Amino acid sequence: MKKTTVTFLMLLFAMQLVAQPQTSTLSDSLYASDKIYVVVACIVLILLALLFFLFTIEKRLKKIEKKS
């Protein structure tokens, strides 16, 4: 399991290196002002919060399942 995880993480790392900056409309308009990152930060926060919420539900469920 560990091996798969490590391999996967390494793959992600390689993917980041592949993505070279090129001129597109987004990089011209939004990157120029550096504000697309604000949107990304908000969305990642929302996603992380929802995922965290899912994990807590899972934890509570496990507790109840153990009891019954």
Partner 1 sequence: MYKSWWKILGAVLVVYSTVWGFLSTVPELPIIRESIRNLYFHVPMWFSMIVLFSVSVFHSIKFLRTNNPADDIKAVESINAGVIFGLLGIVTGAIWAKFTWGQAWSFDVKQNFAAISLLLYFAYLILRNAIDEEQSRAKISAIYNIFAFPIMVVLLFVLPRLSDSLHPGNGGNPGFNAYDLDSRMRMVFYPACLGWILIGYWIYTILYRVRTLEKNNALSS
Q: Which residues bind partner 1 (CB under 8 A)?
A: 1, 5, 8, 12, 15, 18-22, 24-27, 36, 39-40, 43-44, 47-48, 51, 54-55, 57-58, 61-62, 64-65, 68
Shortest spacing between CB 18 and partner 1, in angstroms: 7
Please tell me the distance from the alpha carbon of residue 45 to that of residue 49, in angstroms, as a whole number: 6
Chain CA centroid to CA 43, Å:
9
Shortest spacing between CB 16 and partner 1, in angstroms: 8
Cβ proximity of 9 and 15 under 8 Å = no
